Chains A and B, each alone.
Chain A
Amino acid sequence: MTTEPKNTPPLGRVIVVTSGKGGVGKTTSSAAISAGLAKAGFRTVVIDFDVGLRNLDMTMGCERRVVFDFINVIQGDARLKQALIKDKRLETLFILPTSQTRDKDALTKDGVEKVLTELKTEFDYIICDSPAGIEHGAQMAMHFADEAVVVTNPEVSSVRDSDRILGLLSSQTHRAESAGAEPIKAQVLITRYDQARVDIGEMMTVTDVLEILAVPLLGVIPESKAILKASNVGTPVVLDGPSAAAQAYEDAVSRLTGTQVEMRMQGERRPGLFQRLFGRAS
């Protein structure tokens, strides 16, 4: 599946993965999307903006290889090359972890811009994993973005916060503040979607959420046991064996890179009668 690294000039697209609300799947999605992009041959780096609550390193399975971090680079204590961790599974994937001890004020606009500018000369995609909330850390993560993936659960507080984030993306960011610049291309990624509950009217449908947020849909990730399983072992879900969630993330990645992929709504496969009678092998 992995293709050779490209020899073309880097695309240098900055994509923020954000949501407002916590616990909706930002880090899981950042890990899955960046791994998916790298798997497709794109030179990809994923940056943890959650200063003080670093977690991307664990989700990516490189927590024991962190020496220098994003903040060290911003403050000039380490070079970018020293802080980047090369993924052990994919040749084209790098992780830039954040500091576990500093606070979010260590992120300065100038510092972030400098690091992003340097990364743009080497990478096709720069994925910014935003912290929850709308405070400084989240604002820094979105400020220089070209595109945004707004992770949303089909649940009232998550949708409300996503709407707020969409407002900030279109008013408080570098693109919003630069006259004549194209606005950030924002797309919604619906996660923890449970088709069975949607069918009986217990969960808002994809159409409901899109109607409220009025932005294009990047993908729908079904509620899946594969997510926790992948995070347990520190593997992005797209690299952790086939699952409905992995497939949905791969589709979302394809759409992110401009390929038209039909939206499929498959949930986790429910056990059939035969399986229920005789138990499952796995």
Chain B
Amino acid sequence: MNLFGFARKKPPIPSAHTAKDRLQILLAHERSSSGTAEADYLPMLQRDIVAAIRKHVPIGDKDVEVRMERGDQMSSLEINIELPAAAASKAG
């Protein structure tokens, strides 16, 4: 649409701007956890989940994966549980 292609290229975001954004997001979380190691509960949560699932399905300690993604507006907790294959569970 434009003859010289000037407008096509978006100006790159200054790296200083990225630095500030990253810091603001990170520090908002670090401050809310009052200086202690944040997300301390994640290992405990993982252990509890494993225990709860084990009541019904035999799974190993490493079959549950807990991931946290911290965002500006919202944080998400991703829990991945790998269930044993049907054959394996029969055998076990």
Residue positions of A touching B, CB distance < 8 A: 154-156, 159-160, 163-164, 167-168, 171, 198, 200-205, 208, 211-212
**B16, B24, B27, B34: which contacts A205 (Cβ < 8 A)?**
B16
Mask for B1-44, Cβ within 8 A of A = 1, else 0?
00000000000001111011011101100110011000000000
What is B's interface to A at a CB cutoff of 8 Å?
A: 14-17, 19-20, 22-24, 26-27, 30-31, 34-35
A212–B30 touching, CB < 8 Å? no
Please indicate which of the listed interface residues A202, A203, A204 has the most CB atoms of chain B within 10 Å of its own CB: A204
Query: Looking at the complex, which one of B16, B23, B27 makes contact with A202 (CB distance below 8 Å)?
Result: B16
Which 6 A-B pairs give the minimum distances between C-beta atoms? A201-B14, A208-B20, A167-B35, A204-B16, A156-B19, A201-B16
- Are B16 and A198 interface neighbours, CB within 8 A? yes
Residue pair A171, B35 in contact (C-beta under 8 Å): yes
Known contacts A160-B30, A203-B16, A208-B20, then 7 further A-B pairs from the complex at CB < 8 Å, ordered by chain A residue: A163-B27, A167-B34, A202-B15, A204-B16, A204-B19, A212-B20, A212-B24
Partner of B22, one of A156, A167, A200, A203: A156
Once bound together, how far apart are the Cα atoms of A156 and B26, in whole Å?
10
Shortest Cβ distance from residue B18 to the other chain A in the assembled complex, whole angstroms: 9
Q: Specify which chain A residues have a CB less than 8 angstroms from the CB of B16 in the assembled complex.
A: 154, 198, 201-205, 208
